[in-house]
């Protein structure tokens, strides 16, 4: 009898522990009584020139934005994604059930980006500064019942690491594609998305102030000559009406002053580039 009770207590405890772990780490956005659809979010490197570096960053705090202005918080384990310019394989970020309906976009947080040369895998990567941590993407997509909807985010790697004040700054550029009624084949963390209907595609880029803007790619911080303060050239003053003006001396003084102006060093100032729209609508 004692062993039976011990078995029952152990079994119930394990069930409760399993439910708690599922609730804290693997629960879906939809509630059991709500109609839901299958939603997949995947990252990859956008096709581009081959580069000899790896760019990695953490992902956290994912929220799906509904058309009515609300948000569905989806719990995901904080994880890191590595972008390899020479490999555009899809990496699975989220695979879950979410309430059906129309969505207007999503928000997530980037954390601790790091840059590493591909031939120095045994060395510590270099930390990169973020212009902004919050990635807010306004792109419509629909979650339908009994079908798989997928959102693919392709991160560009060319010209997204800028230099400002001697620091590397990551300004993400993201190409978005939303698909409905698609097929997802998964092997580990790697997936393949095939078929279905492409509902929407867009590109968003981060500005220097951390804002994600539609159809935008930030340019480098450039320098231009600072306009110097206007210099007044003193003219000779006649000491008396009887004294004649020495034109040769005046000409020499004007030439010397002009040379001083031309040789003055201009300091550099930073110019932030033009901004774009934050949404395509």
**Tens of pLDDT along 144-195?**
998 999 999 999 988 899 988 888 899 999 999 999 999 999 887 678 999 9
Residue 270 lies in a domain: no
- How many degrees, rounded to 5, is the angle at CA 175 between CA 171 and CA 179? 150
Residue 2 lies in a domain: no
* Total number of domains constituting the chain: 2
By three-state DSSP, how is residue 12 classified?
helix
Are 83 and 158 found together in one domain? yes
**Mean pLDDT score of the chain, rounded to an integer?**
74
Are 240 and 118 found together in one domain? no
Nearest to 133 by CA among 60, 67, 80, 42: 60
In the listed set 189, 220, 251, which residue is the last one of a domain according to the structure?
Answer: 220
- How many degrees, rounded to 5, is the angle at CA 88 between CA 90 and CA 160? 110
Q: Which helix (H) or strand (E) holds 194?
A: strand 190-194
Contact 67, 101 (CB under 8 A): yes
DSSP 274: P
Are 47 and 166 found together in one domain? yes
Residue 41: the pLDDT is 92
Burial group, residue 109, by CB count within 10 angstroms (0-12, 13-18, 19+): middle
Domain extent for 243 = 227-265
Residue 195 lies in a domain: yes
Longest distance between any two alpha carbons in the chain, whole Å: 132
Residue 9 lies in a domain: no
Distance CA 141, CA 149 (A): 8
Are 190 and 255 found together in one domain? no
Contact 79, 62 (CB under 8 A): no
Instruction: Tell me if the pTM is above 0.95.
Output: no
Query: CA Rg, the chain, in Å?
Result: 30
Q: How many CA atoms lie within 13 A of 246 on its CB side?
A: 9
pLDDT band at 85 (very low <50, low <70, confident <90, very high): confident
Are 73 and 130 found together in one domain? yes
Residue 3 lies in a domain: no
Residue 275 lies in a domain: no
Distance of CA 179 to the CA centre of its chain: 21
Are 175 and 240 found together in one domain? no
Instruction: Please give the average per-residue pLDDT across 129-136, as a whole number.
Output: 93
Are 77 and 118 found together in one domain? yes
Are 32 and 105 found together in one domain? yes
Partners of 142 in the β-ladder: 102
Are 253 and 197 found together in one domain? no
More confident residue, 199 or 8: 199
Residue 8 lies in a domain: no
Are 137 and 250 found together in one domain? no
In the listed set 166, 195, 220, which residue is the last one of a domain according to the structure?
Answer: 220
Question: Length of the chain in residues, anyone?
Answer: 281
Q: What are phi and psi of 233, to 5 degrees?
A: -90, 120
Nearest to 86 by CA among 121, 122, 49, 117: 49
Q: Six-digit token pair at 141?
A: 């997509």
| 249: pLDDT strictly greater than 90 | no
Complete DSSP assignment for 107-170: EEEEEEEEEEETT-TTSPPEE-EES-SEEEEEEEEEE-TTSEEEEEEEE--TT-EEEETTEEEE
Are 114 and 232 found together in one domain? no
Instruction: Please give the average per-residue pLDDT across 49-67, as a whole number.
Output: 87
Are 66 and 189 found together in one domain? yes
Residue 25 lies in a domain: yes
- How many degrees, rounded to 5, is the angle at CA 169 between CA 163 and CA 175? 115
């Amino acid at each position: 009898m004692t062993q039976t009770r011990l078995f029952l207590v152990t079994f119930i405890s394990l069930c409760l522990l399993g439910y708690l772990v599922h609730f804290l780490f693997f629960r879906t956005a939809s509630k059991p009584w709500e109609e839901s659809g299958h939603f997949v979010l995947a990252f990859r490197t956008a096709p581009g020139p081959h580069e000899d570096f790896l760019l990695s960053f953490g992902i956290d705090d994912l929220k799906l934005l509904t058309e009515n202005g609300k948000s569905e918080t989806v719990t995901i384990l904080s994880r890191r994604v590595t972008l390899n310019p020479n490999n555009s394989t899809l990496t699975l970020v989220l695979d879950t059930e979410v309430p059906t309906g129309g969505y207007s976009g999503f928000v997530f947080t980037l954390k601790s980006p790091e840059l590493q040369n591909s031939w120095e895998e045994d060395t510590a990567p270099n930390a990169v500064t973020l212009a902004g941590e919050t990635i807010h993407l306004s792109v419509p997509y629909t979650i339908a019942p009994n079908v798989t909807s997928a959102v693919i985010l392709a991160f560009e790697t060319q010209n997204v690491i800028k230099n400002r004040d001697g620091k590397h700054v990551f300004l993400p550029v993201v190409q978005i594609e939303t698909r409905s009624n698609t097929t997802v084949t998964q092997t580990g963390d790697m997936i393949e998305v095939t078929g279905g209907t492409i509902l929407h595609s867009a590109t968003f880029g981060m500005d220097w102030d951390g804002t994600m803007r539609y159809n935008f790619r930030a340019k480098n911080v450039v320098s231009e000559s600072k306009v110097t303060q206007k210099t007044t050239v003193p003219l000779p003053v006649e000491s008396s009406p009887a004294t004649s003006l020495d034109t040769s001396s005046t000409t020499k003084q004007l030439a010397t002053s002009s040379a001083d102006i031309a040789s003055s060093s201009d300091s550099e100032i930073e110019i932030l580039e033009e901004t774009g729209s934050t949404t395509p609508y």
